[in-house]
A and B are shown apart, each in its own frame.
With several copies, the nearest count.
Chain A
Amino acid sequence: MRIVVQEEPFDLGAEAEAFAASRSDMGAIVTFTGVVRDLSGKDLEVMEIEHYPGMTEKAVEKIASEAAQRWSLGDVLVIHRYGRLVPGDRIMMVATAAPHRRDAFEAADFLMDYLKSRAPFWKKEHTAATAGWVAAKDEDEDALSRW
């Protein structure tokens, strides 16, 4: 299990390759990558991501450990950035390795749902004219009840 919380960009290709290479005995590897995009259609210039140093790492570890308990997993990777990102930048990625594909898929899906609502990150969108915090969506909270 590897948890990384950093301001710097990460290299998706290198991370995916290294993650897959570390466990050649796993039949299934799933990765999810989140990319900054202008969802509001109001010319997003900067996506600022604030987090709670100290708690962030603990919360993410707790989520990853929960996934490892629920599914048969060989490995879990979570990378999450903070700071000022621009559209097209990769915010975060998760990767799961499992003997069977259903475990790898479900665990990655679970990790995303929980990182969304239970890891202390907050997003603020900056356009040329405005800045505003992204509101949590009811559907993101509701998604947790799937698990």
Chain B
Amino acid sequence: MDILYFAWVRERIGLPKERVTTKAATVAELVTELRAREDRYAAAFADLSALRVAVDQELTDFDASLEGAREVAFFPPMTGG
């Protein structure tokens, strides 16, 4: 599964994209795995209310299932327009 990071999440973790192998069933479980990896991940995922998540390029929430997911992206609230 590809994991993408944008804006300050990308900067804090230090990379825009990585491939992970996971058995996480939901986004929340994936976040728990990522947090446990290294301090920079723990820091990036410290406050989920400051984060948004997209699964296969569709905005969703942290309860979302990862079944069949190929791409998960984490980023701060969007500031388009």
Contacts and interface: CB of A to CB of B under 8 A. Distances in A.
Interface of A: 34, 50, 52, 54-55, 58-59, 80, 91-92, 101, 112, 115-124, 133-136, 140-141
Contact of B6 (A34, A52, A80): A52
A122 B75 contact: yes
B77 A55 contact: no
Interface string B22-66: 000000000000000000000000000000001001110000000
A52 B54 contact: yes
Contacts of B81: 34, 91-92, 101, 112, 115-116, 119, 121
Contacts of B57: 52, 54-55, 58-59
Given A55-B54, A55-B57, A122-B7, A115 B80 contact: yes
Contact of B75 (A54, A116, A120): A120
Ranked nearest first, the 4 interchain pairs of A and B with the lowest CB-CB distance are A136-B77, A121-B80, A55-B57, A122-B7
Contacts of B7: 50, 122, 124, 133
Contacts of B54: 52, 55, 120
A120 B76 contact: no
A115 B8 CA distance: 20
Which of B7, B10, B59, B81 is packed against the most chain A CB atoms within 10 Å? B81
Contacts of A115: 80-81
B6 A59 contact: no
Contacts of B3: none
Contacts of A135: 76-77, 79
B78 interface: yes
Contacts of B77: 117, 135-136, 141
A123 B80 CA distance: 7
Contacts of B4: 52
A119 B78 contact: yes
B26 to A, nearest CB: 20
Contacts of A50: 6-7, 10
A135 B78 CA distance: 8
A136 B78 contact: yes
